[in-house]
Chains A and B, each alone.
Chain A
């Protein structure tokens, strides 16, 4: 039986969710191995249950498999991207993938007052904190370089454990969880309106995309679509966010090759975007501008003109910056062939966004599952096969061009009408995917009869990017780590939650 058929044969408990028996779930790993097309979207737990979301390209819509119990069969062999999520689910809910090869703690560093904080009754912590355990590396002249959690630059905290032989990295192991803020727990028991600030602060650089995904999940749960004008305004903000971040990343990648001038120019362009956002939407990062049921504020004709003027300024300078990137051999030498993420690895991990598209995986949530208003506008989704730093740079460059075009077209077609519809207070369950600048963001939530969040999950695309960063650095020299890391640019806060 195919994985889709296996899930669909179980009783349906929500529009996109089926409740599998333990036996049916146990058959899932083998079915997934037989069906490599079935994309894995995320795995999380609840009170005595586990959920996993998938998307089969033939279906085009996400499908959730659930199973009751405090333990379940691991999916990590069939879908390696599930590995970290299973470890996180055990730390947060105490729901355990009993047969997983890697059962080390992930988010729990032994410093919370209780263990399994999202369990029904979290037990107080007993005994000493578990020590960090890294996979051993054996060989002649192996040297360990521990880095972090506090890094040398202005960047989020995480620990990188390099095993090197000479200058060559034999293995990198990333340990995260340092910025775990208990976000999911804080959202429980709140209305979507009260919880959206947390969605907007899962990863500050993706505040718009996360907020849209959360709001669309809440709107799906209450079957209340937002007004058309709000849908287009959300997309304008999401594309501005993509534009600002890609400009910043492009400059920062060049800077990590010790070429500071592109960072200076791209930083200036990024600043122009942020100032236009502040002028038009009242906040440089457009935080808290997306609300369940619509958006917080409308734009005026002058606002649209401000955005268009800013886009024109970027369009005027951007091609010249590309010629500089193309024409400097010292820069090309650093980015071409560096930090290759093989296409089969990107596919196996289900990598989305820039990382996936630079390694031949063309997935884009705006196309599939697809959502308004992207179904009504034409836009380019660049896909390159190379998988190196250069490919990730080029995908970003093409996406900057695409975002500029999209914002112009969205402003052209901005429908008139209201920008907000209050959500009814009712029970329901919803899932939504939004293409953020890093890749597909997934939010799922269930509301109780009082319209309060009973269960929720947030999956940043970085979950699949961190393991690929570990793979990308292998065989490269230590000095190339910053540029490879920046070219992937995974979020720490996004996965630490």
Chain B
């Protein structure tokens, strides 16, 4: 039965796990880069539009997993939205295939400024194992400017969350030291 289970959930502690703060070096590099790129502040929440530009769907599985009970991406003010019009961040996975290049460019153009592009996964970084294929344009940066790379094949949900939190921390009005979970917490 559902009701006893719901009642148990209500009375128990959340099971979402804590996340290690992003490495200082990553944050510092991003701070410098983002400040150089734009003075605009996005605040403490980011809306993310995912675009699969040619992935094998391994990255999608792990992007999905960032929303499960143990990772709970939304507690950090990060949420997935259904349209690039609603997005601050394009999270791009996969090598950018020639057949998806135009769609990715249109999605980028449809995203209002200020906007950031995160290339997630080895293929999005530089084409990965598909680098050099005549059907592949390259990594995400072959088509749109990229602000953050999250390597991995696929990147684990924790790696994805840490990367996105680094973006959030680097972009906070007053970058704070301390656990990233607090910096982005509700």
Residues on A lying within 8 angstroms of B by beta carbon are 107, 109, 111-114, 117, 149-150, 152-157, 177-183, 185-186, 197-198, 201-205, 207, 248, 261, 264-265, 267-268, 270-271, 274, 284-285, 287, 320, 323-324, 327-328, 491-493
Task: Tell me which residues across on chain A come within 8 A of B67, comparing CB atoms.
Answer: 267
Cβ < 8 Å to A, chain B residues 27-62: 50-62
Cα distance, A489 to B181, chains bound together (Å): 35
Query: Quick check: is B171 within 8 A (CB to CB) of the other chain?
Result: no
Question: Could you show 22 A-B contacts with beta carbons less than 8 Å apart?
Answer: A112-B134, A113-B98, A114-B134, A149-B103, A154-B60, A154-B80, A157-B52, A178-B99, A181-B130, A185-B133, A185-B135, A186-B130, A198-B129, A201-B58, A203-B56, A204-B60, A204-B154, A265-B5, A268-B68, A284-B62, A320-B5, A327-B2
Are A109 and B103 also in contact (CB < 8 A) when A152-B82, A182-B130, A204-B59 are? no
Which residue of B63, B130, B153, B156 contacts A154 across the interface (Cβ within 8 Å)?
B63
Interface flags, B90-101, vs A, CB<8A=1, else 0: 000011011111
Task: Tell me which residues across on chain A come within 8 A of B154, comparing CB atoms.
Answer: 204, 285
Smallest beta-carbon distance A384→chain B, Å: 25
Which residue of B51, B65, B107, B134 contacts A267 across the interface (Cβ within 8 Å)?
B65
Cα distance, A114 to B133, chains bound together (Å): 12
Smallest beta-carbon distance B171→chain A, Å: 23
Task: Tell me which residues across on chain B come within 8 A of A180, comparing CB atoms.
Answer: 54, 97, 99, 135
Are A186 and B1 also in contact (CB < 8 A) when A111-B101, A204-B57, A267-B65 are? no
Smallest beta-carbon distance A397→chain B, Å: 17
Cα distance, A268 to B5, chains bound together (Å): 14
Query: Quick check: is B176 within 8 A (CB to CB) of the other chain?
Result: no
Which residue of A150, A265, A271 contacts B65 across the interface (Cβ within 8 Å)?
A271
Are A204 and B134 also in contact (CB < 8 A) when A154-B60, A285-B61 are? no
Contact: B99 with A109, CB < 8 Å? Answer: yes
Which residue of B6, B64, B84, B135 contacts A182 across the interface (Cβ within 8 Å)?
B135
Contact: B55 with A324, CB < 8 Å? Answer: no
Cα distance, A196 to B154, chains bound together (Å): 16
Cα distance, A261 to B53, chains bound together (Å): 30
Are A149 and B55 also in contact (CB < 8 A) when A112-B134, A154-B80, A181-B133 are? no
Contact: A182 with B134, CB < 8 Å? Answer: yes
Query: Quick check: is B170 within 8 A (CB to CB) of the other chain?
Result: no
Contact: A324 with B70, CB < 8 Å? Answer: no
Contact: A156 with B97, CB < 8 Å? Answer: no
Smallest beta-carbon distance A185→chain B, Å: 7
Is the contact region of chain A dominated by helix, strand, or loop, or is it mixed?
loop
Contact: B56 with A202, CB < 8 Å? Answer: yes
Contact: B57 with A185, CB < 8 Å? Answer: no
Contact: A205 with B57, CB < 8 Å? Answer: yes
Most buried by A among B59, B62, B68: B68
Cα distance, A112 to B99, chains bound together (Å): 8
Query: Quick check: is B69 within 8 A (CB to CB) of the other chain?
Result: yes
Cβ < 8 Å to A, chain B residues 98-121: 98-103, 107
Cα distance, A484 to B35, chains bound together (Å): 46
What would 20 more interface pairs be, CB under 8 Å, given A156-B60, A157-B100, A183-B130? A112-B98, A150-B84, A150-B103, A154-B60, A154-B63, A177-B99, A179-B52, A179-B97, A181-B136, A182-B134, A182-B135, A201-B129, A261-B6, A267-B64, A267-B68, A320-B5, A324-B1, A327-B2, A492-B57, A493-B56
Are A261 and B2 also in contact (CB < 8 A) when A267-B69, A285-B61, A285-B154 are? yes
Which residue of A111, A117, A285, A323 contacts B1 across the interface (Cβ within 8 Å)?
A323
Query: Quick check: is B83 within 8 A (CB to CB) of the other chain?
Result: yes
Residues on B lying within 8 angstroms of A by beta carbon are 1-2, 5-6, 15, 50-65, 67-71, 80, 82-84, 94-95, 97-103, 107, 129-130, 132-136, 153-154, 156
Task: Tell me which residues across on chain A come within 8 A of B97, comparing CB atoms.
Answer: 178-181
Task: Tell me which residues across on chain B come within 8 A of A267, comparing CB atoms.
Answer: 64-65, 67-69
Contact: B58 with A207, CB < 8 Å? Answer: yes
Smallest beta-carbon distance B1→chain A, Å: 7
Smallest beta-carbon distance A355→chain B, Å: 17
Smallest beta-carbon distance B138→chain A, Å: 12
Smallest beta-carbon distance A407→chain B, Å: 20
Cα distance, A117 to B64, chains bound together (Å): 34
Closest to A252 in B: B64
Smallest beta-carbon distance A307→chain B, Å: 19
Contact: B55 with A204, CB < 8 Å? Answer: yes
Task: Tell me which residues across on chain A come within 8 A of B156, comparing CB atoms.
Answer: 284
Contact: A205 with B134, CB < 8 Å? Answer: no
Contact: B58 with A181, CB < 8 Å? Answer: no
Cα distance, A180 to B97, chains bound together (Å): 7
Cα distance, A320 to B3, chains bound together (Å): 12
Closest to A320 in B: B5
Cα distance, A287 to B156, chains bound together (Å): 13
Closest to B102 in A: A111
Closest to B100 in A: A178
Cα distance, A177 to B54, chains bound together (Å): 10
Contact: B52 with A182, CB < 8 Å? Answer: no
Most buried by B among A207, A328, A493: A493
Shortest 9 CB-CB distances between A and B: which pairs?
A: A204-B58, A182-B135, A182-B133, A152-B82, A267-B68, A204-B56, A201-B56, A111-B98, A204-B57
Contact: B62 with A268, CB < 8 Å? Answer: no
Contact: B153 with A287, CB < 8 Å? Answer: yes
Smallest beta-carbon distance B83→chain A, Å: 7
Task: Tell me which residues across on chain A come within 8 A of B15, comparing CB atoms.
Answer: 268
Contact: A150 with B134, CB < 8 Å? Answer: no
Contact: B95 with A181, CB < 8 Å? Answer: yes
Contact: B107 with A150, CB < 8 Å? Answer: yes
Task: Tell me which residues across on chain A come within 8 A of B98, comparing CB atoms.
Answer: 109, 111-113
Smallest beta-carbon distance A107→chain B, Å: 8
Smallest beta-carbon distance A219→chain B, Å: 22
Are A181 and B65 also in contact (CB < 8 A) when A204-B60, A204-B154, A320-B5 are? no
Cα distance, A493 to B135, chains bound together (Å): 13
Cα distance, A492 to B166, chains bound together (Å): 31
Task: Tell me which residues across on chain A come within 8 A of B58, comparing CB atoms.
Answer: 201, 204-205, 207, 285, 287
